[in-house]
Structure 1
Amino acid sequence: MTLKEFIEILEKPNQIQAQQMHELEEILLEYPYFQAARVLQLKKFHTEQNYRYNKALKLAAVHVANRSVLYDFIHSKSGQHLSEAEVIRQIALQKTTPKTDFVTPTATYQKMPQKEMDSFPKEEIVPKIYGSFTDNQEADAIAAKNQVSQTDLHSFSQWLKTISEVGNPSKQEEKHVEENPKIAEKFKLIDRFLETNPKIEPSREYVSNINLANEVKTDPHQLMTETLAQVYVKQRKYKQAIQAYEILILKNPEKSGYFADQIRTIKNLQQNNL
């Protein structure tokens, strides 16, 4: 965009075309403090009621120096508030002003006159402070050394005492026994018992040699089981098998029908000599 074209759209901001708006945005990206271009963009957004108007207004308020001129130009029907000379001046200012992202502050030093420096006292303060500090530090170190040595002596004496007590367990036992008279009395009783060496003699009471197993009489009916009856059948001892099932009928009446069938089966085998 040339300077002539820019002045034309400045005089007729309501007739800015889309391509010219795009060029204005490129100019503002390169020169964000170009007030005339910033105001023209904001004027176009205000006229079209563009959604970007609020954001552009905040940016313009930051980059434009005179906000009253900005307000009058946006709400006026023409661009008479910004003259051609003002536009040319701002363009020249933007081109000549170098872009700086960050300004590093420089330190300033003020040299003191020699007379004032000579007037200060030349007393050596630091050596005295250092000397007092080292003296206190040495005194603390000596006190700590003495304290450690006393602690070491105390610990060493305790260690010797412990070693002597461990080396003579009898003394510890004697001391413990002396302190507990009841325990001492119990030890005496134990020693006396061991000296007498008593023996446990067996009792001399009469013991009968009678075989008690013979006195136990077992009812053979109690030993009868169904398994034994089946064994009799396999051995062809049919009489004993029938007798066994008869005993089982008496012992288990609820199974009498089953046992009766077994008896009939055995009798059939007996008749057929099987």
Structure 2
Amino acid sequence: MVEVKTSKDFSELIAKLNPTNEEHKIALEKIIKDYPYFQTPFLYYSKLLKNTNHYDYEKILNQTAVLTNDRKVLKLFIDDFRFNQVSKGTKKIESQTNKSKLKLSFIEWIKYSEKKLDPIIDAKIPLENKINIIDDFIDKNPSIQRIDRNDETSDLELENVFSPEELMTETLAKIFLKQKKYGKALKAYRILSLKYPEKNAFFAVQIKKIKEIQDKD
């Protein structure tokens, strides 16, 4: 039985992933069930299902597409990626065609989108206090409208998926916005503001835009 408990375990699974290995398939299924917004396992699971002509392929591919920023690159990965084509040593690029360049871009994109930064805010600070930090920032910026604390921030469903200290991505915030789940989108951007204070101004603007959209709806 393949167990994936750490990021190292996950990397090792991906490195040796075999589409005909039932244990590998089960391990990926468990990961995407436990982490429904973690895009990398969805990508490999979709590819695995395609390689085995699995009946769930279209369903999983659609879920993967929702988590993917560039669907052209996703299509290229699904169509052209070969399991175990990259050795443990130096990565080899088979050719310099546009397709191979897109493959490299896809790998770089995964690494960038999934990387984790050291926590900047002390994990012992309660989530409510951290959110107040964001509200204070918006209060002090006259060009940004303050978020009403009586809005949908009491929605606890988001915490059922992510703990306050887990990685909250911009992709997830955009997904919530696209689905018109404004309360969740607001909370996602607040958590992003805490994790990446250097982008506070940008996230505050996004929060304001969401509020404006919410008011129109």
Q: TM-score, normalised by structure 2?
A: 0.39
Structure number with higher relative contact order (C-alpha < 8 Å, ≥ 6 residues apart): 2
Please tell me whether Structure 1 or Structure 2 has the larger radius of gyration of its CA atoms: 1
Q: Hey, which of these two has a bigger chunk of helix by percent?
A: 1
